């Protein structure tokens, strides 16, 4: 359990290792995140499961990828399982759109995730551009798409305190804030190339 929400956010872990695989449940957040009595409305419990409410979660369901995991992929489960996961473009767009609604620690984490996703799929930026133009962008309103493109350009325009914090997060590698900023800025510009 974590966070100060009621009910708290719960991470369901596979195995005993702290750094191991974990899952958390998410659901779409509507409104301003407050109940009528003024209390926060950021989690929900149903059937013994606690889900965190996040904005723009529906974009993660656009053009998902199917991935098979199991012993061959070093996931310690008996039989292989096919998972449906967000494509990298939908994932990045959702992270861009929620930035202003996140606390500073989560903002830095999201900036790092955007950078790392672009770095991981950087060899196929043309493919990411096609996913954006053909599969993700058509499912969004013109206003939301324009805001995603604008945020993609603006958030990585200059080195900020958030980018500095993002560069300090990884324990297994050294990131220079300017390199993180420049790589993400370039990757997003290529992904959104030709966007309105």
pLDDT, residue 166, reads: 96
Question: How many domains does the chain fold into?
Answer: 2
* Cα 180 from Cα 187, distance rounded (Å): 11
Q: What is the pLDDT along the chain (196 residues), one digit of tens a residue?
A: 455 555 556 666 666 665 566 677 888 877 776 777 777 667 887 877 888 888 888 889 889 999 998 888 888 888 999 999 999 999 999 999 999 888 888 999 999 999 999 999 988 899 999 999 999 999 999 999 999 999 999 999 999 999 999 999 999 999 999 999 999 999 999 999 855 4
Residue 108 has a CB neighbour count (10 Å cut-off) of 21
Q: Are residues 49 and 122 in the same domain?
A: no
Q: Are residues 102 and 17 in the same domain?
A: no
* Cα 50 from Cα 189, distance rounded (Å): 37
pLDDT, residue 196, reads: 47
Question: Among candidates 179, 178, 166, 181, which has minimal Cα distance to 108?
Answer: 166
Q: Are residues 103 and 174 in the same domain?
A: yes
Q: Are residues 187 and 112 in the same domain?
A: yes
Enclosing domain of residue 120? 88-191
Bond prior to 7 in cis (omega within 30° of 0): yes
Q: Of 54, 70, 96, which one is at a domain's C-terminal end?
A: 54
Q: Is residue 92 part of a domain?
A: yes
Convert 123-154 to b/e letters by CB count within 10 Å (16 or more is b): eebeebbebbbeebbeebeeeebeebbebbee
């Amino acid at each position: 359990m974590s966070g100060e929400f009621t009910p708290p956010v719960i991470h369901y872990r596979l195995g005993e290792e702290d750094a191991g695989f974990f899952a958390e449940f998410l659901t779409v957040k509507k409104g301003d995140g407050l109940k009528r009595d003024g209390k926060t409305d950021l989690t929900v419990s149903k059937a013994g499961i606690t889900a965190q409410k996040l904005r723009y979660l529906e974009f993660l369901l656009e053009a998902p990828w199917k991935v098979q995991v199991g012993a061959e992929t070093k996931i310690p489960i008996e039989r292989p399982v096919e998972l449906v996961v967000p494509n990298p473009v939908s994932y990045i767009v959702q992270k861009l759109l929620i930035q202003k609604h996140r606390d500073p620690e989560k903002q830095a984490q999201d900036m790092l995730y955007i950078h790392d996703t672009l770095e991981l799929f950087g060899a196929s930026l043309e493919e990411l551009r096609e996913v954006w133009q053909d599969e993700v962008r058509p499912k969004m309103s013109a206003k939301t798409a324009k805001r995603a493109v604008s945020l993609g350009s603006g958030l990585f325009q200059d080195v900020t305190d958030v980018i500095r914090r993002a560069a300090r997060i990884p324990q297994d590698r050294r990131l220079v804030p300017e390199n993180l900023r420049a790589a993400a800025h370039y990757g997003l510009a290529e992904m959104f190339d030709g966007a309105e």
